[in-house]
A and B are shown apart, each in its own frame.
Chain A
Amino acid sequence: MSSQKATPQIRTRSLKTWSAFGNLGRRPTEYEITAHNMNHTTGAIPLELGPDVNGNAWLLEHRDATKLRVADWDLFRDPAALTYGKYVAEQDDQETYIELLLEQFDRDGADRTLSVQALDMLGRALAPSRYLGHGLQMLSAYLQQLASSSYVANCAAFQTADQLRRVQLNAYRTTQLNRSHPDRGFATSERGHWENDTNWQPIRRAVELALVEFDWDRALVATNLVVKPVADLLLIDLLGRQLAAAGDHLDALMLDNLWRDSRRSQSWTAALTSFLLESDSSNGPVLQGYLDEFAPLGFAMIESGVQLLSVDGDQESAHLAAGVRADWATIVEAGGLRLGTG
């Protein structure tokens, strides 16, 4: 009986790293040490509970029954190799930069001298996007919850936090603008814009539809390949450039800084889709099929979104839309997928 064999002194072997790495052939990085093999729910019955309880039924249906085939999820790596420590340090630097911007522009009294064109765009496009930011925050959190790999879950967790950063900076600016321009409805009219403005509706519709995509693979494509990249291209990247053109350099610079977060999301998403394509040849058609299915939501977001951002009529809108479509296609292609024509 092994209990009796267990009592003599055992020479303990010394481990250099987690046994779960197997034969890695090199020292794991700190990032790998903190992200590896930290999902314990990947067995036949995910949770240590009866198979029919809420959590198990959900994971079995929406994660384990989905179509992606991956032999070893823990081979995925975040290109940014983010750990918690690295994330808060990097974002602290970014927030310090934003603070300096806010101080500088405040000293210059920049808000008082904003053009009507800029104020209009801030009111109809920037301020209402806090609802969009919250939608993306919820969508990002869902990707964390059902990710099969802790490496992927961590990426989604940091992405979720990025969205709250965006919402809070947005609220900060909305409040400042309300104080300098109290008659323009800042901080009170955004929900009306988000719910009723024609040009916001395709964007809100895409967010709401994505919120009921519970199968993880579909949610991944809907959120990180369609709704979020398109929304960020419109309401962060393009909006920033349009505001700069209208003379609002503070918001342009702040949005430019938020675009760093967007690019990080695009980068791990591309790495993930590339990883999935390499993992199993059946994954390509699955992902491409979802992308083709959801892409019309993105094209509709672009068509109406550019209306929120254009100041110069239909020709400008068409030109802007073409640019966003091209940028979106580049983002998708970086992960080995294709964007059909809208």
Chain B
Amino acid sequence: MLLNRDDWYDTSRDLDWTFTYVEASDAFPARWSGVGAESADAWQAWDEPFRVSYRDYVRIQREKESGVKAVRSAMMRAGVYEKLDAGHVAASHLHMGTTCMVEQMAVTMQSRFCRFAPSPRWRNLGVFGMLDETRHAQLDLLFSHDLLKFDPRFDWAQKAFHTNEWGVLAVKNFFDDIMLSADCVEASLAASLTVEHGFTNIQFVALAADAMAAGDVNWSNLLSSIQTDEARHAQVGFPTLAVLMETDPARAQTSLDVAFWRSTRLFQVLTGPAMDYYTPLDQRKMSFKEFMLEWIVNHHERILEDYGLKKPWYWDQFMHSLENGHHALHIGTWYWRPTLFWKPNAGVSKDEREWLREKYPTWEDNWGVMWDEIIKNVNDDRIQDTLPVTLPSLCNLTQLPIGSAMSRHDLEPHQLVYKERLYSFDSEISQWCFEQDPERYAGHRSFVDRFIGGEILPPDLGGALAYMGLTPDVMGDDAYGYAWAKDYVTAEAG
């Protein structure tokens, strides 16, 4: 008789055997599995959060591929890209440059699950994750390649991770750690559960909605299609957490607390400015903070509660950062715009400012006053005074500028000495993350460490730009050529 998937599924995952020709602990070293011999048995309880057959997978995915391809060619024919708003386009440059290679890295993370995960069930599910991520990388590449003729910034979909651009280094540092250096258990908590199941919703749901509103059907459709895969394979974090709560709940708490903060910081730079500043005002759906609260914070709190974990100790500081961090990173990235490969929109015209005030009641006090300075310089024809001459100092955990985690009033330094080297942090929380596992972070040299160490020559901003691989045709500049500042000319004259 013909069978349903559940008839044969158990047999297809009954794949463990007792090794006799080599030690099982040599074939599955703890440094990759994340599981010591003492708890190996507990991982037999790891249970798939979803089931899929290879047969169904290739059929469904083939259909999705045809769907995306159809939209892609229709939109290219319709010349949609040429009509898009410059601010919106910046968001797609930023996304492709910082995400495409991460998708490819995720292929390798999933492949690590296929090889080293402590349960054959997980090793099998890894195969679908690995295929999904291959799809995402290739979709991003095809999308970007189509648009190269309009803007060389799309070259950065493929090129960015081969450069030393500082923002890319921050992204690379985080994902190299949680995807390519972490063991399976850590990767599944940090990358699958925290990033894929939580934070990527900002990219793939919120940005998709904004892109649709901006008329960028092609990109919106691509993001949504990718999200259907993410929503599936991201679930592997749940059974991992369930088993870890039996074997080592303290590790679960620390892993998630570290991953949650590091993800927060990263998405404050990757998505915060895109949502609250680059996306044209009339096309914005939710503010970054609103989206974070509804999709990420609630979700994370629920997971913690469901699995018997505590809220991170830093929760109040996190909420304070949610109010401020991405605004700090936005003004910082806009100011250091020659160090970007996209053109940031300042996004502080009077209307936009009104919106920011409404969404963030402390915005004027914290950030408006700083923008006023910039606006004055722009309107007085002193653009050079709105441009940097030096580099910011960077956090040794997040690789983001010191001073960009909280409001402009929170400037107390966070530093420690470890093995005779001084480390600086953007917050007490980042310092705490470092302290949980110093060896994981201590050997890395940040962009500023290299600058001070004489690796970047000449040792000035020009040398740094060359080191970052920023050529004039992609180098960041104000998205609208400062047109937004005209709003303020009359007021200042009067």
Contact of B176 (CB < 8 Å), options: A12, A17, A48 = A48
A175: Cβ under 8 A from any B Cβ: yes
Provide the residues of chain A in CB contact with B17, threshold 8 Å. 131, 191, 194-195, 204
Q: With the chains together, A13 CA to B57 CA distance in Å?
A: 41
Q: CB distance B59 to A3 under 8 Å? A: no
> Which chain A residue has the least Cβ–Cβ distance from B7?
A175
Partner of B134, one of A7, A14, A41, A84: A84
Interface assignment of A318: CB less than 8 Å from any CB of chain B: no
Among the 9-residue stretches A28-36, A118-126, A236-244, A325-333, the one with 4 or more Cβ atoms under 8 Å from chain B is A28-36
> Quick check: A195 and B62 within 8 Å, CB to CB?
no
Q: Is the CB of A95 within 8 A of B1?
A: no
Knowing A6-B338, A131-B15 are in contact, say whether A102-B2 is a contact too (CB < 8 A).
yes
CB-based contact A175/B11 at 8 Å = yes
Please, how many angstroms separate the alpha-carbon atoms of A3 and B279 in the complex? Answer: 25
Q: Does the CB pair B27–A10 fall under 8 Å?
A: no
Smallest distance from the beta carbon of B93 to chain A beta carbons, Å?
A: 12
The interface residues of chain A lying within 8 Å CB-to-CB of B142 are 30, 33-34
Q: Which of B374-429 contact A (CB under 8 A)?
A: 383-384, 387-389
Interface SS majority for chain A: helix
A175–B61 CB distance below 8 A: no
Which residues of chain A from 187 to 232 have any CB-CB distance to chain B below 8 Å in the complex?
187, 191, 194-195, 204-205, 208-209, 211-212
Interface: A168 (CB within 8 A): yes
- The answer to whether the Cβ of A338 comes within 8 Å of any Cβ in the partner chain is no
Given A145-B111, A157-B134, A168-B54, also A50-B443 (CB < 8 A): yes
Note all chain A residues with C-beta closer than 8 A to B154: 15
Interface status of A263 (Cβ within 8 A of chain B): no
Residues of B within 8 A of A322 (CB): none
Q: Is B490 an interface residue (CB 8 A)?
A: no
Within 8 A of A (CB), among B435-494: 439-444, 460-462, 465-466, 472-473, 475, 477, 481
Chain B interface mostly:
helix
Q: Are A3 and B11 in contact (CB under 8 A)?
A: no
* Distance (whole angstroms) from the CB of B32 to the closest CB of chain A: 8
Q: Among residues 267 to 317 in chain A, which have CB atoms less than 8 Å away from a CB atom of chain B? A: none
Annotate B84-105 by CB proximity to A: 1 below 8 A, 0 otherwise: 0000000000000000010011
With contacts A106-B1, A138-B114 taken as known, whether A51 is within 8 angstroms of B127 at the C-beta atoms is no
Bound: A209/B27 CA distance, A? 9
**Chain A residues with a Cβ closer than 8 Å to the other chain, count:** 90
CA gap between A167 and B57 in the complex, in Å: 15
**A residues within 8 Å of B by Cβ?**
1-7, 9-20, 30, 33-34, 36-41, 47-56, 58, 83-85, 87-89, 91-92, 95-96, 98-99, 102-103, 106, 130-131, 134, 137-138, 141-142, 144-145, 150, 153-154, 157, 160-161, 164-165, 167-168, 170-172, 174-176, 179, 187, 191, 194-195, 204-205, 208-209, 211-212
Per CB-CB distance, the 4 closest pairs between chain A and chain B, nearest first, are A50-B443, A55-B181, A171-B12, A141-B114
27 contacts between A and B (CB under 8 A): A9-B481, A11-B473, A18-B148, A34-B138, A47-B176, A49-B181, A50-B439, A53-B439, A54-B181, A55-B182, A83-B138, A84-B138, A102-B2, A106-B1, A137-B114, A141-B114, A141-B126, A141-B130, A160-B111, A161-B54, A168-B12, A170-B12, A171-B8, A171-B9, A172-B3, A211-B22, A212-B22
